[in-house]
Structures are given as C-alpha cells and as structure tokens.
Chain A
C-alpha cells in the first residue's frame, strides 16, 4: 500500500502539502482522497510541510491552496515538482 504522504485542502487546489519528509522519485498518494485520488511521482525531495504541484502549472498560473490563490508561478512547474519561493511570487506584491 502506498504511503498517505500528502494532504490537499480543497478540490480546486493545484498543490499538495507533504505530511512527512518525502524523496525524489517517490510515488505518493493523498491522505484526503476526496480531493485528490491520483498518485504522484515526485520530481524533488519535498520536506515536511512543503508543497508540490499536483498537475503541470504554467508560468504566470495561479498557485491554488485552500481553494484560493496564494501566488503566481514564475516558471513552468511539472507535476510532482517542489513549489516554493524559487518558482512562486506573491500575487499581492504584484498587484501593489
């Protein structure tokens, strides 16, 4: 059985949150299956509490967590790739 390795807060979300330290190439499944049923092959190591893409995210796309925009992609992000300050910027600063 696959490890329940991440959670998703909302059906709209395009990122999952690691609930343990995860490794690149690991195949992981979601602890909140009602929002995300697919298994994902991780592209990077994902530390506990960090995010990765559930599906491909294109440059300037919104990063959605809690069903809300938490920032914009500054690069193309593949499914399973680490999503953090290196490839996301605040949409708030952008507006101001």
Chain B
C-alpha cells in the first residue's frame, strides 16, 4: 500500500487581519439570551448565515463576565466568519455596540440591531433579514485561494470515549496533529480534567519551565474545584470499567487521552477562549464537556476540530467543521451519520496508526478546502460557553 501524499496547501478565505478562514459564514450573534430566539429567526432559511444560540450575556460577575465576553468576541473574530450581525436586546450586561467594536478590530463588517430600539421582535426580524441578506451577498463574492497548511489552527477533543480510544483513535489523531505541527501549523490540546495523572508528562513536554508549571497549576485547580464539591477525581481512577477494559493506572488512562494532541513540545498554556497566537502545540484550559471545550477553542481561533469518540456523538460547532473519528468499527457503523473516519481498522490489524493518521490529515485538508463534515451535514450548530461563576 502506497503512502498518502501529505498536502502542503488548502483552499481558504484570506481575511483582512491576516488570518485564513476555512468557511465563509455570516454570523448572527446575539449579545444575550433574550435576543437568541430572534437571532435564530433572522437567520432561518438564509443560506450562508448561521445564528448562535447564546444562553448568556447578563448577570455575570468579575472574571466570569470577562471570559463570557471574550468567548462571544472570539466567535465573531474567528476567521471562518466573514461578517457579523450582532442582535441585542438593549438592557443587557454585554453591550452590543461594544461587542461589535471589538469584532470590527479584525476589519470585518459588523452590523448591530437592538430590539428595544427597533420596536420589538417582528421589526427586528424584518430589518435583520434585510441586513443579513446584504451581508450574505457580499460574503458570497469571497473566493478561496491556495494557502499553506501552516495557517491552520486545529483544536483536539475527545468525547464518549471507550477503552479503545487510547489504542486507536487518539494515537491516530495524534499522528495527524504531529503532521500539521510538523508543517508549521498550530494545534490545541484541551480538556484539563483528562490530564489528571499524566500532567507530569505534559509538564515535562513544556517548552520552558513556566509552561510546565502552568500545566501543573491548571490541573491542580480542577482537582481543587472538584474537592471543594466533595469529589476526589484522582482517587477513583481508573474506574473498575476502565480496569476490566485493560487500563492499569491513572497515568495510562490520561496518556491515552492526551495522545490525541500528538507528541510535540507544549509551547503555551492558554486560558479558556484566549486567542491562540503561539506556533506549534498549545494547551487550552477547557472543561471535559465537549461543546463548551470546542466553543472555547474556536473562540480562540481554531478553524477545524478533530474529535475522537468511542461511543459516537453528533457534536458539532456553529462556525467550524468538526471531524469525528471513531475508535472502533461498531461505533462507526452504529453512528455512521455522525462519524467521518473509522480508526477501528487499527484494532482489526487492517491499518496502522500512521496510516489512519495520514487519512485524518488528508480529510482535514479537504475539510479545510470546503468538504463538509458529517456534523455540518447534520446542521449541528452547537455552541456553549463554559461559565466559572454563578449567575447573579
């Protein structure tokens, strides 16, 4: 069997701020939960437009406010977004005009509609649809051009894992990530709770002492948070089910998870939804909840997500393609409408980890050039923000 060609370029949309999109969405961005339903109705039936359902935007305090705002801004500034229509209510904590100004810094066109100024829902929808159609008309003039793969930022995620995730899907995904990092691209390893037990390995892979100590700090913070709720995450690992599946120690289990990020040095540790600017592999401090973690990475600039699964999940993202990789053939066949690549061939002895890694890389480049992933075909416009303080 011949080796696959490792593509050097994809077809992407160059943006005014120097970033490159793999999609060309016009985003309807509600600044608060109160305008989310109206935002959906504005985007309904307009091809090329997508609305987020934003459950937040009011009642935040302190660092939770800043994180929430940063995530909303990040969704608007993501290079997969051509232009934005911000829809506000008018009395919310996140000020729609300020949100728009932050996104405009990228050079994107951003329009704002405030429901209390537009005299209600119906008028906002009517006007919103007019504005949106003109934005889509403008967006559809954009053309893809050849772009080096080093402009890609890949987020990694795993969800619905099984005992085979660490045998097939995650190591294969790690190979694809190593390929993209080797070409000069950027990748993000997420899901801090899954580092527990292997944080010493990640810390050792830190490019400098500070990265190492940051890695240890975010893991300890998650453990301390669980402890404050009376839960000892480390003590109960690996679970009896993990052990009967063949996992012996907590470090083995966590190494299986973090292998999805490949083997490169870790160059930086980012907070949730922070803009990923650093070359090579970085860590982002996200939750184990798939949609919240994906949203954080996409707000941080990731254009594509690689996602391994043992059980199968429909998870997607409103503005970025999510490529799903199953660890076993049974899950692939059971959830075929959700899964793009089957890594189960590794445990059947039909393919090596390296071969599947190259297939993942190949699909990654094709998806970057416009091929729709299963989650996109299903219309999985998922979005959620990981909150860190209660709503007041």
A17 to B248 CA separation, bound complex (whole angstroms): 12
Quick check: A32 and B201 within 8 Å, CB to CB?
no
Residues in B with CB closer than 8 Å to A84 are 243, 246, 248
A50 to B251 CA separation, bound complex (whole angstroms): 15
Asked whether A7 is an interface residue with its Cβ less than 8 Å from the other chain, the reply is: yes
Q: Which residue of B lies closest to A19 (CB)?
A: B347
Give the dominant DSSP class at B's interface.
loop
Interface residues of A (CB under 8 A from B): 3-5, 7, 9, 17-19, 31-32, 34, 47-51, 63, 65-71, 83-85, 88-92
- Contacting residue for A92 out of B197, B259, B354, CB 8 A: B197
A32 to B354 CA separation, bound complex (whole angstroms): 9
CB distance from B222 to the nearest CB of A (A): 16
Asked whether B167 is an interface residue with its Cβ less than 8 Å from the other chain, the reply is: yes
Asked whether B220 is an interface residue with its Cβ less than 8 Å from the other chain, the reply is: no
Asked whether B352 is an interface residue with its Cβ less than 8 Å from the other chain, the reply is: yes
- Contacting residue for A17 out of B167, B243, B348, CB 8 A: B167
Quick check: B352 and A71 within 8 Å, CB to CB?
no
Asked whether B94 is an interface residue with its Cβ less than 8 Å from the other chain, the reply is: no
Q: Which residue of B lies closest to A95 (CB)?
A: B200
A22 to B217 CA separation, bound complex (whole angstroms): 42
Quick check: B250 and A92 within 8 Å, CB to CB?
yes
Asked whether B373 is an interface residue with its Cβ less than 8 Å from the other chain, the reply is: no
Asked whether B252 is an interface residue with its Cβ less than 8 Å from the other chain, the reply is: yes
Q: Give the top 5 A-B pairs by smallest Cβ distance, nearest first.
A: A49-B246, A4-B349, A70-B252, A50-B246, A90-B249
Q: Mark each residue of chain B from 163 to 199: 1 if its CB lies under 8 Å from any CB of chain A, else 0.
A: 1100100010000000000000000000000000110
Asked whether B346 is an interface residue with its Cβ less than 8 Å from the other chain, the reply is: yes
Quick check: B251 and A7 within 8 Å, CB to CB?
no
Quick check: A90 and B251 within 8 Å, CB to CB?
yes
Quick check: B255 and A66 within 8 Å, CB to CB?
yes
A47 to B245 CA separation, bound complex (whole angstroms): 8
Residues in A with CB closer than 8 Å to B197 are 90, 92
